Amino acid sequence: MTEPHSLYRRFRTLLIANRGEIACRVIRSAKAMGLHTVAVYSEADQDALHVAMADDAILLGPARARDSYLNIDRIIAAAKATGAEAVHPGYGFLSESAEFAQRCADAGLIFVGPTAAMITAMGSKSGSKALMEAAGVPLVPGYHGDAQDETTLSNAAAKIGYPVLIKASAGGGGRGMRIVREAEQLQSSVVSAKREALAAFSDDKVLIEKYVDNPRHIEVQVIGDSHGNLLSLFERECTLQRRHQKVIEEAPSPTLSEAQREAVCAAARMAAGAVKYVGAGTIEFVSDGKDVFFIEMNTRLQVEHPVTELITGIDLVEWQLRVAFGEPLPLTQDQIRLNGHAIEARVYAENPARNFMPSVGKIRTWRTPEETHGLRIDAGYRQGDVVSPNYDAMLAKVIAWAPTRGAAIERLHRGLDDTDVRGIVTNIPFLSALVTHRNVRDNDIDTGFIERELTALTSQQTTVSSLELCAAVSAILRDEARSIGQDAFSPWRASGWAQVSRRTRVFAFRQGQAEHKVTLQYGRGPSSILIDGREIGFAYSSGNDATISLDLHGAKTQIVAIIEGHELYIRTRNGRFDLHWIDPFGVDEEDHAGEDRIVAPLPGTVVALLAEVGATIEKGAPILTLEVMKMEQTLRAPFDGVLKALKCKVGDIVQEGAELAEIEPKA
Ligand code: ADP
């Protein structure tokens, strides 16, 4: 056996075996260190940002991850073809695959991360728990044995005591997890957890843990080098989660006292030290408010690593690469300082109003605020890119730093507010509502907080005021002026002579059920807008982008307006608004989709049928389960009725809009 340190050496060309935001993130640091970067991509990602950013890029294969980003043979062949000497796995995909780490090593490539043996030891939730138990790290009570039969699992659950949590042993991203509150539900939950685990990780082994009610999630960043140095870089708190997936992460934890911080960091060093860990990793704990219990180790960089970078001033990707070069870590434990507070929000292509259904399609508008001191945007997409149903729906992360937690939250809020994405639906308004929620500011939260507050966090927009109506008019005028090459309501319009009379033009807008009429008066003299009999002096000027400076009776304000056909997106100081412009000359199309049908909201695979044809069903009753973007989505009855027909079977791959079931409404 070779000594671990001989695995690492200086290299010049790095292949990044990933896509999206993480590939872009790694490329940025690698280039700054003078490395030559090689991207890999699938047929769906020909024009992706990570491909454009890298020095070289190699096509792996078809869109399906199995044929591209998860295909070890093709990635190794790509490395060989481009002369890459090292491979950075990013996170997700093959980042925690011991097989991939080993295959890289066998091919003479440096794997930027731990060895296959360390991944095997720590990468499995069951295996790492056994190790931690031996090392004396506190664990949640649970069963993590090999036997997976029904009796063993139900006896284990009974012994632990309900509620319990079933987890995929190979799990990640909250997939394959089920909370079980009563013994009767155990079997069906095991079946569905195993099914999801098999689909996501090709491994259906599960473990059972005591479900800690209303816990907090606390994790410690560690990094080790090949010279035996191992450091902890403080903790992150990731308690704001939905379906066990992190939504907002911050560092340091606002919950821990100084003594608790030291204790949890020491436990993390002990955990990583148990395998003489090399590379960046995270030790995760749940806390019931008093004690912390080890749940798992992630043997890779994490999505939320930027908050640690912002409070320590360390570039973790740079350090990962230095470790891979065989260098010792540049600082010692007592040289690592905690400075200020950082908080990150994950921007997803998903629709919170429709149970967070992933959203796919072309990004028609992508506007993010400029990165300034204390505001960082890690994006994997830009305007014109296509969000494909084949991959994870995370688009970007907005990260803010400030000397205090309160100021960091304000900065994040502003950063989110100044972000506009159109063409696909995103969770940005939901994130804004979340970070400004009183309980979040007060750190009065637990992992179930989002689920409980969902209605408040996804509630509909406020009604328009005259500001938004004036903004809508300015947007229409701006777009008309752009299309004819001059200002549509200029008195010198078209033929160059001054108009003698005052002219008016009426606009009508709809927001939900409400209709609003606005009259623009222009021509000789200053223009004005009439709303409900009130006259407002009106002028505007626009730049090249979506922003418009409005001047209403001398009060100036900046707004953002984007028009797509008859749909207007307006962002003002009052928030975001979607308005429908009722064009007197245009034809308004109505959506005639039949309400008695259940259609696939996105392309996916039918994984379970949950109701029988002929059955009487109540509104909200589960009809079938669809796997969309690796997540199971249960489609439910929109009203009381009888299930007339099921138009699909388990295993069917269905297209967006495909009719899956028909329900006859109750008379
Ligand atoms: P994954 O690897 O899929 O992300 P984890 O084991 O890291 O799964 O758990 C994800 C989240 O689920 C944790 O952050 C925590 O909120 C919650 N969780 C995990 N284990 C428990 C537990 N025993 N009791 C309560 N909540 C838990």
- Residue of minimum CA distance from atom 17 in ligand 1: 244
pLDDT of amino acid 134: 86
Is beta strand 341-348 parallel, antiparallel or unpaired with respect to 394-402? Answer: antiparallel
Please, are residues 336 and 428 in contact by the beta-carbon 8 Å criterion?
A: no
pLDDT digits (tens, 9 = 90+) for 645-665: 999 999 898 887 889 999 998
This prediction has a pTM of 0.84
The answer on pLDDT for 602 being more than 80 is no
Distance of CA 59 from the midpoint of ligand 1 (Å): 36
The ligand 1 atom at the shortest distance from the C-alpha of residue 217 is 14
Higher-confidence residue: 499 or 64? 64
The answer on pLDDT for 495 being more than 60 is no
Contacts of 196 (CB under 8 A, 6+ apart): 168, 175, 176, 632
Picking from 315, 331, 369, 330, the residue whose alpha carbon sits closest to that of residue 347 is: 369
Higher-confidence residue: 608 or 147? 147
pLDDT digits (tens, 9 = 90+) for 215-238: 999 999 999 999 999 999 999 999
Higher-confidence residue: 408 or 584? 408
Best residue for ligand 1 mutational test, from 143, 284, 302 (most atoms within 8 Å of Cβ): 284
Question: Using CB atoms within 10 A of its CB, is residue 446 exposed (0-12), middle (13-18) or buried (19+)?
Answer: buried
Is 300 part of the annotated catalytic residue set?
yes
Query: Mapped to the 3 state alphabet, what secondary structure does 482-499 carry?
Result: HHHCCCCCCCCCCCCCCC
Distance of CA 326 from the midpoint of ligand 1 (Å): 34
239 lines ligand 1 (CB under 6 A): no
Query: 628: pLDDT confidence band, cut at 50, 70 and 90?
Result: confident
* Cα–Cα dist 456/422, whole Å: 23
Question: Using CB atoms within 10 A of its CB, is residue 490 exposed (0-12), middle (13-18) or buried (19+)?
Answer: middle
Per-residue pLDDT averaged across 570-598, rounded?
72
pLDDT of amino acid 492: 41
Active-site residue identified among 242, 261, 269, 300: 300
Alpha-carbon distance values, 77 to 42, 60, 82, 638 (Å) = 14, 9, 9, 50
Task: Domains for the chain: give ranges and CATH numbers.
Answer: 4-112 (3.40.50.20), 141-210 (3.30.1490.20), 218-458 (3.30.470.20), 466-581 (3.30.700.40), 597-665 (2.40.50.100)
CA 245-439-215 angle, 5° bins: 45
Distance of CA 627 from the midpoint of ligand 1 (Å): 21
The H or E element spanning position 190 is: helix 186-201
* Cα–Cα dist 143/243, whole Å: 22
Lowest mean pLDDT among 70-74, 78-82, 585-589: 585-589
pLDDT of amino acid 2: 43
Question: How confident is the prediction for the chain on average, in pLDDT?
Answer: 91
Per-residue pLDDT averaged across 396-406, rounded?
98
pLDDT of amino acid 482: 82
Please, are residues 398 and 309 in contact by the beta-carbon 8 Å criterion?
A: no
Percentage, residues of the chain above pLDDT 70? 94
Per-residue pLDDT averaged across 486-494, rounded?
48
The ligand 1 atom at the shortest distance from the C-alpha of residue 295 is 6
What is the side-by-side strand order in the sheet with 597-599? 597-599, 659-665, 641-646, 616-617
Query: 496: pLDDT confidence band, cut at 50, 70 and 90?
Result: very low
Please, are residues 621 and 609 in contact by the beta-carbon 8 Å criterion?
A: no
The phi and psi torsions of 14 (rounded to 5 degrees) equal -120, 130
Q: For the chain, what percentages of helix, strand and coil (3-state, to nearest 5) are there? A: 30, 35, 40
Query: 438: pLDDT confidence band, cut at 50, 70 and 90?
Result: very high
pLDDT of amino acid 386: 95
The answer on pLDDT for 275 being more than 80 is yes
Per-residue pLDDT averaged across 546-553, rounded?
96
Lowest mean pLDDT among 125-139, 241-255, 617-631: 617-631
173 lines ligand 1 (CB under 6 A): yes
Query: 325: pLDDT confidence band, cut at 50, 70 and 90?
Result: very high
The answer on pLDDT for 414 being more than 60 is yes
Distance of CA 267 from the midpoint of ligand 1 (Å): 18
139 lines ligand 1 (CB under 6 A): no
